[in-house]
Amino acid sequence: MKNLSFTLLFSLLYTFGAANTIEVCSGCQYTSIKTAIQVANDCDTILVKEGNYTEGNIVIDKALSLLGENYPVLDGKGETEILTITANHVVVRGFQVQNVGTSYLED
């Protein structure tokens, strides 16, 4: 039982200790929020720098934090939904959301 407890504790520490921060901006390695989500792992943080992002229908399908710095704009251009969250344990904070084309909640 002690070995199992130690193994679980080590696994949790490794998982949470290995979280990365991925930056998104016009001059960063990742310029697309969608691409950053694709390369992210559970528990990672995606830090979106100030700017306008018009990707539309951004799907968050893993447990991560999507944080805006200086309130970047997520703009749906009046044509599309902006965010679809299908995973548990997701944090979205620090964005200005505008011109949503489709909006609904499903639980």
What would you measure as the largest C-alpha separation in the chain, in angstroms? 57
Question: What is the tens place of the pLDDT at every residue in 62-92?
Answer: 999 999 999 999 999 999 899 999 999 999 9
Does 7 or 87 have the greater pLDDT score? 87
Nearest to 90 by CA among 14, 11, 29, 37: 37
Per-residue pLDDT band for 3 (boundaries 50, 70, 90) equals low
Query: For position 6, what pLDDT does the model report?
Result: 46
Residue 53 CA: distances (Å) to CA of 3, 24, 80: 48, 10, 13
Per-residue pLDDT band for 102 (boundaries 50, 70, 90) equals confident
Amino acid of residue 62: K
Torsions phi, psi for 72 (to 5 deg): -60, 155
Question: What is the tens place of the pLDDT at every residue in 8-60?
Answer: 444 554 555 568 999 999 999 999 999 999 999 999 999 999 999 999 899 99
Strands (E) located in 4-90: 21-24, 45-48, 52-53, 58-60, 65-68, 73-75, 83-85
Query: For position 31, what pLDDT does the model report?
Result: 97
Query: For position 56, what pLDDT does the model report?
Result: 85
